[in-house]
């Protein structure tokens, strides 16, 4: 758009620039989740800046503008949510600088909000057994749900988006592996055991009879390939049937990591299996296992018992 156009056309406003940024993200082949998070955050900020502060043009956004927005986010949402939105806005300003729309990012010297480390609860073996037990029926849904849950409990703990994104071609029963596409569009192999292989085999033998069998998606619902939310709702429903507390899908991944590390699984292998690029993630996921080892060590070396 020519720079000579008047401001009345909206040139230079966030409302006009955000769609252009989203187009750039699409051209860079960013994941659908990234596109959604970045776009939603940018529009949320644009609305806040316009309605609360009277700021509509990108070049008029200052550090104070962003800080006011972040303070509002922290007052109304969890620090993790505010942190995600902070980092999303950083990418917006980075693009605006690269495109020559602004000279310097208003967030250049800002630091992200501190996110307190909150341990993710590990699901007990007893609860997992109860959850799997309620899926041991003969219906299509029983066989599908059992296969999904067993895949999510395997070493490498699939993320919700990863398990929902699986297609038929991603499963190799003979090799007992599944290829998932993780964050950053990075593929990795999940190795599964005999019980999971059996659950997958039973589901796949029944799948061709489903009304949506022509779909490429591995997991089928009434309307075709199951979505993230569909799988999350299934897990919640099965928890109710099992009479256990609600399990968030990510707890299954955390539990798989906890079991791997608690049983002495290698850290380098864990990073590859779980798709972690940073050892910081290894520390975060391994915290519960490390705490358990520390408690066991403390019991063995109790000074009180020696006195």
Q: State the pLDDT at residue 287.
A: 67
pLDDT level of residue 262 (50, 70, 90 thresholds): confident
- Residue 181, pLDDT score: 85
* Nearest in space to 242 (alpha carbons), one of 137, 156, 138: 137
User: pLDDT at position 212, please?
Assistant: 94
pLDDT band at 277, cuts 50/70/90? confident
3-state secondary structure string across 135-203: CCCCCHHHHHHHHHHHHHCCCCCCCHHHHHCCEHHHEECCCCEEEEECHHHCEEEEECCHHHHHHHHHH
Give the pair of three-digit tokens for residue 220: 């089928």
Distance between CA atoms of 111 and 83, rounded to whole angstroms?
10
Average pLDDT along the chain: 88
Per the CB < 8 A criterion, the answer to whether 255 and 122 are in contact is yes
pLDDT tens, position by position, 286-301: 666 666 666 666 666 6
Confidence grade of residue 6 (pLDDT, cut at 50, 70, 90): very low
Residue 221 DSSP SS3: strand
- What DSSP state is assigned to residue 111? -
- Lowest model confidence (mean pLDDT) among 124-133, 137-146, 153-162, 204-213: 153-162
187 bridge partner residues: 181
Residues with Cβ within 8 Å of 52's Cβ and at least 6 positions away in sequence, in order, are: 68, 72
Cα distance from N-terminal residue to C-terminal residue, the chain: 80
Tell me the per-residue pLDDT of 22-73, one tens digit each, with 9 for 90 and over. Answer: 999 999 988 888 999 999 999 999 999 999 999 999 999 999 999 999 999 9
Q: What is the dihedral of CA 172, 177, 180, 185, to 10 degrees?
A: -100
- Asked whether the predicted pLDDT for residue 5 surpasses 50, the reply is no
- What is the model's pLDDT at position 209? 95
Domain ranges of the chain: 9-98, 125-293
Contact 180/131 with Cβ under 8 angstroms?
Answer: no
**Range name among 129-133, 159-163, 168-172 with the lowest pLDDT average:** 159-163
Whole-model pTM: value is: 0.69
pLDDT at residue number 295: 62
pLDDT reported for residue 11: 67
pLDDT in tens, 173-220: 999 999 988 777 778 888 899 999 999 999 999 999 999 999 999 999
Average pLDDT over residues 118-138: 89
pLDDT at 1: 38
Q: What is the C-alpha to C-alpha distance for residues 179 and 163, in angstroms, rounded to an integer?
A: 10
Tell me which of 3.30.460, 3.40.50, 1.10.760, 1.10.150 is the CATH number of domain 9-98: 1.10.150
The residue-averaged pLDDT of 91-109 equals 96
CATH of the domain spanning 125-293: 1.10.443.10
């Amino acid at each position: 758009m020519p720079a000579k156009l008047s401001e009345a056309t909206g040139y230079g406003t966030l409302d006009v620039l955000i769609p252009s940024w989203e187009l750039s993200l699409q051209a860079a082949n960013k994941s659908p989740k990234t596109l959604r998070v970045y776009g939603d955050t940018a529009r949320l900020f644009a609305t806040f800046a316009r309605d609360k502060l009277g700021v509509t043009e990108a070049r008029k956004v200052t550090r104070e503008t962003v800080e006011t927005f972040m303070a509002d986010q922290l007052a109304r949402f969890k620090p993790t949510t505010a942190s995600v939105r902070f980092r999303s806005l950083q990418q917006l300003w980075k693009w605006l600088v690269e495109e020559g729309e602004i000279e310097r990012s208003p967030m250049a010297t800002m630091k992200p909000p501190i996110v307190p480390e909150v341990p993710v609860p590990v699901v007990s073996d007893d609860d997992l057994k109860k959850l799997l037990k309620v899926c041991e029926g003969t219906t299509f849904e029983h066989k599908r749900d059992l296969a999904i849950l067993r895949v999510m409990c395997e070493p490498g703990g699939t993320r919700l988006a990863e398990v929902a994104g699986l297609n038929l071609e991603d499963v190799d029963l003979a090799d007992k592996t599944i290829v998932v596409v993780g964050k950053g569009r990075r593929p990795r192999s999940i190795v599964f055991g005999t019980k999971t292989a059996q659950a997958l085999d039973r589901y796949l033998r029944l799948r061709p009879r489903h009304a949506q069998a022509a779909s490429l998606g591995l997991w089928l619902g009434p309307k075709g390939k199951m979505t993230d939310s569909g799988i999350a709702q299934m897990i919640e429903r099965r928890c109710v049937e099992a009479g256990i507390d609600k399990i968030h899908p990510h707890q299954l991944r955390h539990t798989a990591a906890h079991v791997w590390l608690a049983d002495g699984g290698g850290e380098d292998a864990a990073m590859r299996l779980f798709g972690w690029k940073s050892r910081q993630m290894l520390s975060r996921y391994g915290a519960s296992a490390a705490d358990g080892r520390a408690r066991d060590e403390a019991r063995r070396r109790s000074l009180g018992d020696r006195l």
